[in-house]
Amino acid sequence: MFQKILIANRGEIAVRIIRSCMYMGIETIAIYSEVDKDSLHVQLADEAICIGKAKSNESYLNMENIITAAINKGAEAIHPGFGFLSENAQFAELCETVGITFIGPKSKTIRQMGDKSKARELMIDALVPVVPGSNGCVKDLSDAKELAKDIGFPILIKASAGGGGRGMRIAYSIDEFSTAFETAKTEAKNAFGDGSMYLEKYLENPKHIEFQMLCDKYGNTVHLGERDCSIQRRNQKVIEEAPSTIKPAIREKMAQAAIKACKSVNYENAGTIEFLLANDNFYFIEMNTRIQVEHPITEMITGIDIIKEQIKIAAGEKLSFKQKDIQFKGHSIECRLNAEIPKHNFRPSPGVILLLHIPSGPGVRFDSFIYPGSIIQPHYDSMIGKMIVHDNTRAEAIKKIRATLEELVIKGINTNQSFLYMIINNPNYIKGKFNTSFIDLNLEALLEYDEYE
């Protein structure tokens, strides 16, 4: 087992990784930008090193500085968390080159699955259902237009190197297509340095279901159940729950497809296979080759520490359990708390936390990096924490997440707390009648009681 791990991230996921390392008796090294010197992950780690200025490309995306820090501090492994360099094949390859273990899949796998059009081709070869669309990337606008007519509108235009909703546009007709294509292409080029695009049939109002996977170096592959991530805004998840309310027969088919997908690329470590579900038909859309923001709800229903399993797999250990050993208990819900102003188009709201009260009790968890006096920086993602609950049934979990949102107090900045509360109390959410269009269809009502003036 590793003696020392460097965490190449910040915020709540860095804190989360440090905690699992503490449980395992592993020393940790935190990296931080100049403005993050007082951040919680820096205070909790055994060692910390400043790697650059506030801008991400000068710090948390600076591969040379991170690798140098890891070598100088004697780290045997690097955990990238999510975001930043977590799905960067070049970074994983650099780790491999200098003899530092990258806690994640091999660089080759990241490259294969990170290229969304290539991943799509691999899944077609593995007989995993995919959304009807182009076979690989389209050559140019003219080629894309002709293919769009064959597929049929509406069309989802997607960046091959995309993620987080960037480089993605919907065209409902041929008249809209050219502008949507060029806009998505430009956005992809600016965000990822790659303007390669592919097309998919746009499925209107599907559910977004993902399976958490664990795969060791010896071909052992298990799933830890599924999560319903359909409550989204602009393709960014807002509330997730596990398990979903899909039919058991469909759940089993999706689980087997997820296992087939992982085995087809000889996947190692933790990963997530994401599907869209429409009219009882499901389709692979992408694989996330990293830990997910919403991993805690899976931990709550299985009792398995996914970060710990990631570290053990990277250290060469076999999975200590088989599929039949995994038990699913109860229901879990996660709400993503963001420093933002929903009424003002969800504008980020950086500032200083003046007062903080966190709910606690059986089945209540708050993953965060905030404390009274901590600074929410304007330079990074606006997520400040995740309120997570677990109970015996979905109905009881909804009551519990409602109570925790009522009790939670965060003063000094604006948050989306009221917005989350309105979602949880919406009758259709309570009944489980929601899909990826839920927020768009209910936005006005969900913003009605936003506290910001």
Distances (CA, A) of 438 to 234, 394, 433: 11, 19, 9
Q: What's the rounded Cα separation, in Å, for the pair 164 and 169?
A: 12
Q: What's the rounded Cα separation, in Å, for the pair 169 and 199?
A: 10
Contact 229, 209 (CB under 8 A): yes
Say which residues have a Cβ less than 8 Å from residue 388's Cβ, sequence separation at least 6: 296, 297, 300, 332, 333, 334, 335, 364, 365, 366, 367
Residue 274 pairs in a beta bridge with 210, 286
Q: Which residues are catalytic?
A: 290
Query: How many residues would you count in the chain?
Result: 453
Contact 297, 267 (CB under 8 A): no
If DSSP codes are grouped into helix, strand and coil, which group holds residue 38? Answer: coil
If DSSP codes are grouped into helix, strand and coil, which group holds residue 228? Answer: strand
Taking the mean position of all CA atoms in its chain, how far away is CA 431? 25
If DSSP codes are grouped into helix, strand and coil, which group holds residue 413? Answer: coil
- What backbone phi and psi angles, to 5 degrees, belong to 325? -85, -15
Q: What's the rounded Cα separation, in Å, for the pair 177 and 389?
A: 43
Q: What's the rounded Cα separation, in Å, for the pair 22 and 304?
A: 16
Residue 133 pairs in a beta bridge with 200
Kindly tell me the sign of the dihedral angle through the C-alpha atoms of 172, 191, 376, 291. positive
Q: What's the rounded Cα separation, in Å, for the pair 336 and 288?
A: 19
Give the Cβ contact number of residue 406 at 10 Å.
Answer: 11
* Residue type present at position 53: K
Give the Cβ contact number of residue 166 at 10 Å.
Answer: 16
